[in-house]
Amino acid sequence: GNSVTQMEGPVTLSEEAFLTINCTYTATGYPSLFWYVQYPGEGLQLLLKATKADDKGSNKGFEATYRKETTSFHLEKGSVQVSDSAVYFCARSGGSNYKLTFGKGTLLTVNP
Amino acid sequence: GAGVSQSPSNKVTEKGKDVELRCDPISGHTALYWYRQRLGQGLEFLIYFQGNSAPDKSGLPSDRFSAERTGESVSTLTIQRTQQEDSAVYLCASSFRLAGGRTDTQYFGPGTRLTVL
């Protein structure tokens, strides 16, 4: 079946450090790929998405590129801020394109 | 409303009791989804509603779980005879449906945290 594997946390960085959170997915069908973020005490929010191979999703300084050859969708940010502290979830859509399969989430803490 | 809303935000119940969770989707979103997030785990798909089509119930973990949706509005998720392993955050999401049967980005509510004692 479909699955998503993302790097386990927690990840702790200093402000302005470079961030990478790895995510790989099973290569069945033609999924769309997503990163969702859950800030403390808030609901899940879409951070960015990519719908086909080689697409790059970007938002709030975060980027992720849909790599079909490596079945990856790694999240990157060049300079993190304290306000980026949250749990980040990688997800893929299913064969019918509506079921989302999520990774287990990565807790990011950014210290000043 | 501006976003997906869910109620209650927190629910504590005793083992064996029934609970009902409510979701109000974004107005105009024809697709509605329920997911479960257990501690330290990713989200698990439970059920999907699309308009008047038969719902996809393939993710419901047991026959104690059921869900209903009235037209393209409110949905309720009911868990009968709750067990401790049902403790989780239950998330609702909604989206537009696109041409060709595909669905657009899912927008999530804040969730209901269910604790079964």
Tell me the Ramachandran region of residue B71: left when phi exceeds 0, alpha when psi lies from -120 to 50, beta otherwise: left
Chain A residue nearest residue B59, CA to CA = A99
A101 to chain B: which residues are within 8 Å by CB? 42, 45
Q: Is B109 on the interface with A (CB under 8 A)?
A: yes
Q: For residues B30 and B81, give the distance between their C-alpha atoms in angstroms, rounded to a whole number.
A: 30
Q: For residues A57 and A54, give the distance between their C-alpha atoms in angstroms, rounded to a whole number.
A: 10
Helix (H, G, I), strand (E, B) or coil at B15: coil
Closest CA to A105 of B68, B14, B43: B43
pLDDT over 80 at A29, yes or no: no
Q: A66 exposed, middle or buried (CB, 10 Å; 0-12, 13-18, 19+)?
A: buried
Pairing of strands A106-111, A11-14: parallel
Q: What is the pLDDT of residue B52?
A: 81
- pLDDT by residue (tens digit) across B4-37? 999 999 999 999 999 999 999 999 888 999 999 9
